[in-house]
Amino acid sequence: IVILAPTGVAAINSGGQTIHSFFRIKPSVYTPDDLRLSIELHKPSIVDYFSYSEQKKRVIKAIDTIVIDEISMVRCDLLDLVDRLLKYYRSSSEPFGGVQMIFIGDVFQLAPIAKADEWEILRKYYESEFFFDAHVMRDLELAKIELNKIYRQTDIKFINLLNDIRVNELNNEDLVLLRSRVMRGGLFA
């Protein structure tokens, strides 16, 4: 089992590594027709840009499961790149090279980072920058587990306020509650 996350903080909190560190991915935009991901012989190809030691190749081939925490922060092209690398180095045409993938996260929390110039390139290939619009996700049948019990909050008014904020449906009652908590200087009580 390999535990990965999109950021260093998330990786430390989950006891794993960043996706970029594990796969040695340089920050960039990776499109489906990117020559760096080619598998054609006698041309620059995936092995020229993503060459691994024999030990790393053995690790990749031995992976049963990859857990990605904070999946909401993973950009679509990064997930497709992980798919392509696993397929290539595991010699498999199955999604993610046959590796079981476990995605953990809340898409209502942090979105992936897609700068305007990066999204301008990616929009030609993807519906959105989110992981669920990666091409590899199109034909997957995912087992989804949704956690509904709230453990960190007990105040029902506050829980309802947070849920309204999550779905961008604030009402006047929510605004009154928020304004009642603002103190002089802009701090919250």
Place of tokens 């992976």: 63
Question: Are 171 and 164 in contact, with CB atoms under 8 Å apart?
Answer: yes
Provide the 8-state DSSP code for 102. Answer: E
Sorting pLDDT into bands at 50, 70 and 90, what band is 186? Answer: low
Long-range contacts of the stretch 13-22 (C-beta < 8 A, 24+): 13/69, 14/67, 14/69, 14/70, 16/67, 16/69, 19/68, 19/74, 19/78, 19/82
Give CA–CA dist 169/67, Å, rounded: 32
The pLDDT tens digits for 146-179 are 888 888 889 898 888 888 988 889 999 998 888 8
